[in-house]
């Protein structure tokens, strides 16, 4: 996790129904893909302390197109009741005891247009 910056994204239909498609720039913050491997596992904690195991994978070739695979990601989506237009934020926060590298937050706009954690 070179720069340790927050990663955020407004969720699309693909994100809430299949897998989280992430920008290539997120790879700078993700764990390293080692030994020619095209996927890496990592843990996240939500605001209530629940742990989710996620898997980031990339394509082989010049355009990696990173995604967070469905298995752990959709567990989080369903747990939070996420919808298209909600926002997801990965905050770098290493916890060696729980083997996590991000705190993950989900937000939705309220009727006043303010983003609130859900």
- What the chain holds in terms of domains, given with CATH numbers, is 7-117 (2.40.330.10)
Quick one: tokens of 93?
């926060």
* Complete DSSP assignment for 35-76: TT-SEEEEEEE-TT--EEEEEEE--SSS----EE-HHHHHHH
In angstroms, the CA 42 to CA 85 distance is 25
Q: What are phi and psi of 49, to 5 degrees?
A: 90, 10
Cβ neighbours of 60 (radius 10 Å): 8
The pLDDT tens digits for 12-23 are 999 999 999 999
Listed in sequence order, the residues at least 6 apart from 34 whose beta carbon sits closer than 8 Å to its beta carbon are 40
The pTM of this model reads: 0.87
- Bridge partners (DSSP) of residue 53 are 43
Tens of each residue's pLDDT in the chain, 118 residues: 444 678 999 999 999 999 999 999 888 888 888 888 899 999 999 989 899 999 999 988 888 899 999 999 999 999 999 999 999 999 988 777 767 789 999 999 999 999 999 9
């Amino acid at each position: 996790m070179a720069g340790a910056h927050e990663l955020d994204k407004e969720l699309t239909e693909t994100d809430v129904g299949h897998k989280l498609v992430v920008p290539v720039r997120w790879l700078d913050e993700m764990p390293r893909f080692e030994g020619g491997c095209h996927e890496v596992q990592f843990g996240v904690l939500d605001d209530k302390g629940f742990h989710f195991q996620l898997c980031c994978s990339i394509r082989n070739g010049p355009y990696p197109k990173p995604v967070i695979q469905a298995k752990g990601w959709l567990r989080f989506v369903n747990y939070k009741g996420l919808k298209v237009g909600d926002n997801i934020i990965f905050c770098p926060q290493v916890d060696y005891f729980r083997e996590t590298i991000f705190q993950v937050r989900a937000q939705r706009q309220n009727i006043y247009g303010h983003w609130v954690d859900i």
